[in-house]
Amino acid sequence: MKNNKQLLLEIYRRLFELYGPQHWWPGESPFEVMVGAILTQSTAWQNVEKAINNLKNACIMSPSALRDISTQELARLIYPAGYYNAKALKLQALVNWLGVSHGDNLCQVFALNPETLRTQLLAVHGIGPETADSILLYAANKPVFVIDTYTRRIINRLGLAPENDNYAAYQTLFTVSLPRNSQLFNEYHALLVRLGKEVCRKQPRCDGCCLLDICNKQV
């Protein structure tokens, strides 16, 4: 019987052979990735793309510009992403932190060690563990594994769920079993999202799944 490390590496190998590189996170700059990490909360990515395009067309895809615009106007521009009033406040909290704490210097931000940066991000209004880790991995290129709904669902169905049902326990499952490599974590998470969207849905499409023979909970 394979241990968790062997099984997680086997899962990655199969997903990568099937789907190939995912080129995730889509974004033209690290700051855009940070914005996207907030906008994608509780919504589909195609809605986030519409909101980001609105910000770009308005020429305000920068920390200073997002600080200068009114909350009401920002909410109007990000309307496609849903929860637009709340997300406008979250984005402005993010850029206020960037300005006050780091002078909008992303190089300074990303030079922080992952633990320090994560602590600072979690202190920003509207940023929880998943959003913070998305910023750490995809914007700052730190070896931090992102846990989301797709990952939890897949891991549970494969019979690998940790004893404690919390974010940290799922994250530890990956970080203690895999090499701490940001590229690996990036690709692995993106592949799990792909599988979760297309196959391992709430109502799973098990036929033809590349993990079917090692899945213990096909429900």
Q: What is the CATH number of the domain that holds 173?
A: 1.10.1670.10
39 and 130 fall within a common domain: yes
pTM value is 0.95
CB 191 within 8 A of CB 134: no
Q: List the chain residues with pLDDT less than 50.
A: 218-219
11 and 93 fall within a common domain: no
Range of the domain at 40: 30-139
pLDDT at 217: 67
- For the chain, the domain total comes to 2
pLDDT at 1: 61
129 and 158 fall within a common domain: no
pLDDT at 57: 98
Q: Is residue 219 part of a domain?
A: no
Q: Is residue 188 part of a domain?
A: yes
17 and 55 fall within a common domain: no
| Chain centroid to CA 175 | 16
Q: Domain ends where: 139, 170, 187?
A: 139
Helices 45-57 and 30-39, packing angle to 10 deg: 130
